[in-house]
Amino acid sequence: MTSPGLPPLLVICGPTAAGKTGTAIECALILRGEIVNADALQIYRHLDIGTAKPTPQQRALVPMHLIDFLDPSERYSAAQYRLDAAKVIEQIHSRGKLPIAVGGTGFYLRALVGGAELAPAGADWELRRRFEKQAEQEGPQSLHQLLSRVDPESARRIPAANVRRVVRALEVYHLTGRPLSSFPSPLAGRASPPSSWRASLDRGKPSPYNVLAFALTMPREQLRRRIEERIVRMMEMGWLEEVRGLLEKGYSLEVPAMQAVGYRHLARHLAGEMTLEEAIAATKIETWQYARRQLTWFRGEPGLIWMDVGDSGPRDAVQRIASRASERFGA
């Protein structure tokens, strides 16, 4: 994907529940690596069980970065992630270690791998759903007021009644860290995402890294079963109590982190809006839908080396990834 003369970056991505964390830890132990989180929820403090955050035991094995550094009420963009991750990666390189970016948030990984300026193309369907729901429940004006705070110029140009355009402007701000009005108008009008990491590179300077990227996968029914089994384990580990604790700390459903799949359903259960069985069932369905969107996203990213961990398991994937990385980076 990039020039071998550039600083190395190993990427391990894929859908939720595919075994990315365990695989990355084993690879890091073999390759003298450090992990850079690329999961948009693991950045938040207090969200541990429901985000499948690495355990304290796992974090003691390998240095891990960009985990637990934001309050659940804070918003965070892909553009800001790229800046923060680049600093961390530079520090890892200075220690003579191999940075390993790990996660399933495609926008974060695309932002990190691409060297060009982030344009306001792309779609975060979960974010759109949240904004659209806010408009339905609180009225279009509430959404327009939010836009006025982050992008006054766009708010002046877009009427509150045009919910679709208001949502789009808010989405751009979330993804890039910049108001839509700060981009040239032809660019701002684009609605479809770049088709690949390479497409984002072609818009400007090349990637600053020598990237070797792997995507973990498995047969869909097996992945769906793993997702459902993991949700059951999370409940047994105390996920409901984790959500209760967040609510008691004052984090309502309005804060960004609490809109995550599972958290909002369990919060609604605690508010008496649905039974626990309904909340768990909805979480299973939406997590599977999210995994399918992740697979679709990563299937559109050229240059990824796909690893089927369904039959061979993660151990075989670790050996193959470590072997390829050693050849590529001399690790």
Greater model confidence, 117 or 297: 297
Cα 87 versus chain centre, distance: 18
Question: What's the whole-number mean pLDDT along residues 255-269?
Answer: 91
Mean pLDDT (the chain) is 86
Taking Cα atoms as reference points, which of 308, 331, 330 lies closest to residue 23? Answer: 308
Residue 122: the pLDDT is 52
- CA-based R_g, the chain, Å: 20
pLDDT at 144 over 50: yes
Q: Which residue has the tokens 């006025």?
A: 148
- Residue 18 is encoded by which pair of tokens? 């595919």
The whole-model pTM stands at 0.77
Residue 128 banded pLDDT, cuts 50, 70, 90: confident
Query: Can you name the residues that pair with 61 across neighbouring β-strands?
Result: none
Residue 253: the pLDDT is 85
Residue 192: the pLDDT is 31
Measured CA to CA, the distance from residue 207 to residue 200 in angstroms comes to: 9
Residue 189: the pLDDT is 31
- Please give the full DSSP string across 154-196, using - where no structure is assigned: HHHHS-TT-HHHHHHHHHHHHHHSS-GGGS-HHHHT--SPPSS
pLDDT at 99 over 50: yes
Measured CA to CA, the distance from residue 323 to residue 50 in angstroms comes to: 33
47 phi, psi to nearest 5 deg: -100, 90
- Contacting residues for 202 by C-beta, under 8 A, at least 6 apart: 116
Question: What's the whole-number mean pLDDT along residues 54-58?
Answer: 96
Residue 173 banded pLDDT, cuts 50, 70, 90: confident
Residue 163 banded pLDDT, cuts 50, 70, 90: confident
- Residue 166 is encoded by which pair of tokens? 């208001």
Q: Which of 17-21, 100-104, 295-299 has the lowest mean pLDDT?
A: 295-299
Residue 168 banded pLDDT, cuts 50, 70, 90: confident
Q: Identity (one letter) of the amino acid at 244?
A: R
DSSP 301: -
Calculate ∠ Cα 300-126-213, nearest 5°. Answer: 30
Measured CA to CA, the distance from residue 147 to residue 160 in angstroms comes to: 10
Question: What's the whole-number mean pLDDT along residues 280-304?
Answer: 93
pLDDT at 118 over 70: no
Chain segment 300-328, per-residue pLDDT in tens: 887 899 999 987 777 889 999 999 999 99
Residue ranges of domains in the chain, CATH in brackets: 8-118+205-220+294-329 (3.40.50.300), 125-188 (1.10.20.140), 222-290 (1.10.287.890)
pLDDT at 175 over 80: no
Chain segment 232-259, per-residue pLDDT in tens: 999 999 999 999 999 999 999 888 888 8
